[in-house]
A and B are shown apart, each in its own frame.
Chain A
Amino acid sequence: MLISTVGIIIFCKDVIAINILIIYLCKFIYKICVLFGRGSSLPGKIALKLRPDILKSAAKKFKVIMVTGTNGKTTTSAMITNILRLDNKSVISNNTGANMIDGILTCFIANYGKSGWAVMETDEAYTRVITEYLKPEFIVVTNVFRDQLDRFGEIYTTWEKIKDAILKSPESKLVFNGDLELFAKIDFKNPVFYYGFKNGAGEKKVNAENAFCLCCGERLTFNFITFSNLGDYYCENCGFKRPFLSYTLDEIIEQTTEGTKAIISGVPVELSVPGVYNVYNALAAFALADLAGIDKEQIALGLSTQGSCFGRNESIKVDGSSLHMALIKNPTGCDQCIDAITLYSDPCSLLFMLNDNWADGTDVSWVWDANFEKTAGMQYSKVLIGGMRRYDMAIRLKVAGLDEKKFVLLEDDNQILESVSDCKGKVFAFCTYTAMTGLRRTMYNKGIVKDMWK
């Protein structure tokens, strides 16, 4: 195959044909990578080097759904994929978190020859590179919060990047979180659909800590806030207010650590993932699926059979203990994990792992903006602390009011797993990205988990 490929490249002068050949060549490389057990973005990287515009050819037969935003893009993409698949649609997606240009391109290369829907979770910074070559059918933006400011500088800078991406694709239908003020002041030609909460879930508070009108700078007033700065806002000074919502969360019926029962746009849904933040993800997926023409009952079925994504709520048996892992990476997402886990009121232990590699965010100061105070009220018997920046974490937890006498500082994954099994019960873990993947690799090597990537 390789010889014939090279042969055709030599004889072929047609640009499109060359692109197709490069794609086949990279698909071949992809298969070799898989054979050696390495899922990587290498094929995409090589293809990009050869032809920067190769994405256009690789994705030609797909209707693309681009999902971006600070938090929730993995879960939202997984929900959309699940709904479409249950409806017997052909769907591809980059669901292991390879969400930069080379990862996305690799996904298209690996699936070259197929057609149908492509659900692409996209890193905010790469959205405008993607729309340079692809015109997605839909662009879903979950939210823009403070995340790894060392990478993106400021939330407004991130939002500018996403806006640039949208300007390059004026026909894409936009699905936006209507409860986030930032998304209301826009000037696109695209059709826009907003989703949000009809009423506040749980307590109502009307003072967001730092929400100011983007039109006149006055402090915003809220009829209710769901979390962070999300809610039904308006400006008393200039009349700026939340836009019309095409899709609404009508009512939350029940919330547990396992999931949420709710009514979305008149349809009862049972979400198999917990927390208000996942209700937002479900709203985004619901809106998208409805716009894509999926039957509403079918959407509800898709949402109720949604499994937990890698690292985003899963339970692992470690001897007599069950380790419940949550990925933390920024204050808003971390607070949502804390809210979901603190619903658990029985005795348990806690594990915190803080790393500061590139993928975690090199700045650990964000832990001071997350509400670890709330975990101090749990019935914990031990507080295990690990990771490269474990002492920073220990100081944070001490100030948060957790009992210092129960702290156990652990140097490596082996020590951590030993301590976890000594807990003999539920252990709730909060881990940054590389801390989690590292621990998972150690568990894989020890045979505690069967797959490195779930």
Chain B
Amino acid sequence: MEINIVHLYPDLLNTYGDLGNLWILRERAKARGIDVKIHNVSVLNDINECDLLFLGGGQDFEQSLVIEDLIKNKKQYIKDYIENEGVCLCICGGYQLLGEYYMSAAGEKLPGISILPIRTEAGHKRLIGNIIVQGENEIYVGFENHAGRTYIGDLKPFGKVLSGHGNNGEDGLEGCIYKNTYCTYMHGPLLSKNPILADELLIKALSKKYGNVTLNPLNDYYENQAKKAVLMRALPELCER
């Protein structure tokens, strides 16, 4: 089997170790004998083969350069891809860009590509720190650092906040999920401490391509211990279970 992973704007959107997520997907796929191709796609490039799309976060200046190209050259492709249940992981700035608009730290209203009905307002205090959320079947841990307050309307959240701030620090929700698109503020990078999620993304992407795919388990001792270290500090009672 082979998986094509597209990294959008790796030169502009890559903060807080975003790239680590791709390396982890690559290592986990390789360990199961799956061929991995990572395609870097930036301004003016086209997306060709894609089984898994990744969009990371950037600083305001870089993000403003991205928007123009996204709207002009890639919006339609991404919209069709997401609606057709393509697997997509968007973190932080990449998450905000999928929405209707977001307010920059300087108070400027910048358009998103309006694929999801989400809005990001400006907040003066940055929401920073370790974060723990309860997903549908799993507890996820990561680190958040964002000034934007995101509101997801009727969309399903990525998780409910157990510790930390989440989308806006008010409604107790973190990220959002639409079809096979996962959006979140959690970096860390996210997949380094949440191996089950990494496998879920791989299984969905491969199953879409090859029909029902299962993956044999790996030794995730370090990953689970790293997750436990974050849980132990904020919510020791969760570790008892």
Contacts and interface: CB of A to CB of B under 8 A. Distances in A.
A367 B19 CA distance: 11
Interface stretch (A25-33, A95-103, A198-206, A358-366): A358-366
Given A156-B60, A395-B223, A399-B23, A369 B17 contact: yes
Interface string B12-36: 1011111110011001000000000
B17 A368 contact: yes
A153 B123 CA distance: 13
A217 B17 contact: no
A277 to B, nearest CB: 21
A137 interface: no
Interface stretch (B160-168, B172-180, B185-193, B202-210): B185-193
B65 interface: yes
A392 B130 CA distance: 13
Interface in A233-275: none
Given A150-B145, A154-B60, A212-B65, A366 B226 contact: no
A453 interface: no
B129 A399 contact: no
Contacts of A366: 16-17
Given A209-B11, A394-B222, A155 B229 contact: no
A391 B229 contact: yes
Contacts of A362: 128-130, 143
A210 B222 contact: no
Interface in B123-147: 126, 128-130, 143, 145, 147
B78 interface: no
Contacts of A153: 105, 126, 147
A388 interface: yes
Interface of B is mostly: mixed
A395 B226 contact: yes
Interface string A378-415: 00000000001101101110110000000000000000
Contact of A149 (B16, B23, B62): B16
Nearest to B228: A391
B64 to A, nearest CB: 8
B17 A391 contact: no
Contact of B192 (A156, A209, A396): A396
B214 interface: no
Nearest to B11: A210
Nearest to A157: B105
Contact of B225 (A155, A209, A391, A398): A391
B15 A364 contact: no
A389 B16 contact: no
Interface in A334-363: 362-363
Interface string A146-173: 1001100111110000000000000000
Interface string B105-123: 1000000000000000000
B76 interface: no
A369 B19 contact: yes
Contacts of B143: 362-365
Interface centre among B61, B222, B225 (most CB of A within 10 A): B222
Given A150-B145, A156-B60, A365 B65 contact: no
Interface in B1-54: 10-12, 14-20, 23-24, 27
Contact of A392 (B10, B11, B65, B226): B226
Contacts of B226: 389, 391-392, 394-395
Contact of A363 (B11, B16, B223): B16
Contact of B222 (A155, A368, A391): A391
Q: Say which size band chain B's interface belongs to.
A: 35 or more
B59 A156 contact: yes
Nearest to B58: A210
B154 to A, nearest CB: 31
B11 A388 contact: no
A369 B60 CA distance: 19
Contacts of A389: 226, 229
B17 A365 contact: yes
Interface in A209-232: 209-210, 212, 217
Nearest to B42: A219
Nearest to A155: B59
B131 to A, nearest CB: 11
Contacts of B145: 149-150, 363
A156 B145 CA distance: 16
Nearest to A331: B17
Given A362-B129, A364-B143, A149 B20 contact: no
Interface string B202-241: 0000000000000000000011011001000000000000
A365 B23 contact: no
Contacts of A368: 16-20, 23, 189, 192
A362 B233 CA distance: 13
B150 to A, nearest CB: 17
Contacts of A394: 222, 226
A366 B23 CA distance: 15
Contacts of B61: 156, 212
B11 A399 contact: no
Nearest to B10: A209
A279 B222 CA distance: 38
Interface centre among A154, A212, A365, A394 (most CB of B within 10 A): A365
30 contacts: A149-B15, A149-B16, A150-B129, A153-B105, A154-B60, A155-B59, A156-B59, A156-B60, A210-B62, A212-B12, A212-B65, A362-B130, A362-B143, A363-B16, A365-B188, A365-B189, A366-B16, A368-B16, A368-B19, A368-B189, A388-B229, A391-B223, A391-B226, A394-B222, A394-B226, A395-B223, A396-B192, A398-B27, A399-B24, A399-B27
Given A367-B17, A391-B229, A398-B27, 10 more contacts: A150-B129, A212-B12, A362-B128, A365-B187, A365-B188, A365-B189, A368-B20, A391-B222, A395-B193, A396-B20
Interface of B: 10-12, 14-20, 23-24, 27, 59-62, 65, 105, 126, 128-130, 143, 145, 147, 187-189, 192-193, 222-223, 225-226, 229
Give the top 3 A-B pairs by smallest Cβ distance, nearest first: A368-B17, A368-B20, A391-B226
